[in-house]
Amino acid sequence: MSDLVARNRRKGQRRAYDLAVVGAGSAGFSAAIAAAERGANVALIGHGTIGGTCVNIGCVPSKTMIRAAQALHDTRAVMRFPGLVGEADLADWPALAAAKDDLVGALRKTKYLDLLSSYERIAYLEGWASFHGGSLLVDGVAIRADRIVIATGASPARPDIAGIDDIPFLDSTSALALQALPRSLLVVGGGYVGCELAQMFARMGVRVTLATRSRLLPEAEPEVSAALADFLRAEGLAVRQHLAYRNLGRTADGVALAIGSEKGTETLVAERILFATGRRPNTAGMHLAEAGIRLDDRGAIVVDARLRTTRPHTYAAGDVTGRDQFVYMAAHGAKLAALNALEGDAHIYDNSAMPWVVFTDPQVAGVGLTEATARTSGRAVRTSLVPLDHVPRALAARDTRGLVKLVADGDSGRLLGGQIVAPEGADSIQTLTLAIRHAMTAKELGETIFPYLTTVEAWKLAAQAFEKDVTRLSCCAG
């Protein structure tokens, strides 16, 4: 790494830059590559481990461990088929964790480090970026750049709970780096990360309690949230929702969280506690406000529809803006920001057909508006809801955990949004994404030909359910 940095510093010092990109994660690389491909000279400024959150401590390590946990579960669950018996156990957690680290290292090398030498116009500068007056500094040294894109990402947020300073706790990063599993784990936070990690650790043999102030996946449809809670409880997780967090303390064997619930005041205890309570933008110490870059009350950079900040010729994208915290949206936004910086603000950031996935099992995925947000916008709204036990694929697999819900405009029939809970939900959501992107109606989706015995056929059934009772259809009918 040091040789590469030195080589890129020499490469960069030969010229000024058309664009400086602050942050060397997925968003930063996307912006830098987009600019370099259009002939711009780019300074890519990184601090810490190259590659950012997704490859190092987020998507890649979490999803490989989630998949390993699912393999354990699937082997044990074969008994849903008569005549089959299976069993699997976690024999060596350190070996599994080491394999995860090997994968992370390989992807960081091939998708980040090795790419730098492929782009002559990108100079990688390692150091802390900050602003002073009208200048952008890297480790205190000013660099010359006509335009700037800030893509510094976000980090796990620490909740404001009394006593938190007095206890050892895990966040998503340190939890994935554990060298030994605890006997019990209290996961605080019912969003994407909390649900995914809670189920993963439970399937690895840890006794897990999942606690949240609201409900699981609070921005999802209530039917989806309730279904996921039921499925997690069926696997042995203790799911506690609608709580007030009182205070934290140590016990002889671990930690204790005092909560308020409908039962009064209680105490949840575990050997370890993991906070999955959101993420905070990485803006501290950069002197952004002094440079004329407006921040919101969470410390996120405020941008407009073209990803412009309040500082001239300065853009921001990805998690540092506090919106749409998914790696693919960060990379997409950063590319648009770079193009706008170089080509005159022609591109608008549009998330109206943005798919999202929660990698629990069954998986949860959605796109577009929920029923509540559609009604809030003043529309007349129609919905359909089809449980997975009406979907032939689920019946054949003897796994009917889940449902699909569609939201459509009550006047035009145009599809507005939808969500799915299904073992193959992640790979099914893109069908609905395309339908919404191309302004299809529920009738048009219901008349589309779908292959039989697939999970995506659930969308066809849900679309047909607006007008007919799908329980009265024969296979492939309609």
Question: H or E element: which one contains 308?
Answer: none
Residues 287 and 173 in one domain: no
Identify the domain boundary among 322, 343, 364: 343
Q: Is the pTM value of this prediction over 0.85?
A: yes
For residue 275, the cross-strand partners are 188
Q: What is the pLDDT of residue 165?
A: 95
Give the tokens for residue 289.
Answer: 């406000």
Residues 15 and 136 in one domain: yes
Residues 189 and 253 in one domain: yes
Q: Which residue ranges of the chain lie beneath pLDDT 70?
A: 1-15, 476-478
Residues 296 and 148 in one domain: yes
Tokens 């059934």 belong to which residue?
A: 461
Cis preceding linkage at 156, omega within 30:
no
From residue 221, how far is each of 142, 213, 385, 394, 407 by CA, in Å? 49, 17, 11, 21, 10
What pairing do the DSSP bridges indicate for beta strands 129-132 and 135-138? antiparallel
Range of the domain at 246: 164-277
Residues 407 and 261 in one domain: no
Residues 287 and 383 in one domain: no
Residues 131 and 262 in one domain: no
Give the tokens for residue 2.
Answer: 């040091």
Residues 255 and 269 sit within 8 Å (Cβ to Cβ): yes
Identify the domain boundary among 262, 277, 292: 277
CATH number (domain holding residue 241): 3.50.50.60
What pairing do the DSSP bridges indicate for beta strands 141-143 and 135-138? antiparallel
Residues 143 and 176 in one domain: no
Residues 234 and 311 in one domain: no
* Residue 368 in domain: yes
Number of domains in the chain: 3
* Residue 378 in domain: yes
Residue type, 347: H
Q: What share of the chain is helix, strand, coil (3-state, %, to 5)?
A: 35, 25, 40
**pLDDT tens profile 97-156:** 999 999 999 999 999 999 999 999 999 999 999 999 889 999 999 999 999 999 999 999
CA–CA distance, 364 with 391 (Å, rounded to integer): 16
Residues 338 and 316 sit within 8 Å (Cβ to Cβ): no
Residues 428 and 365 sit within 8 Å (Cβ to Cβ): yes
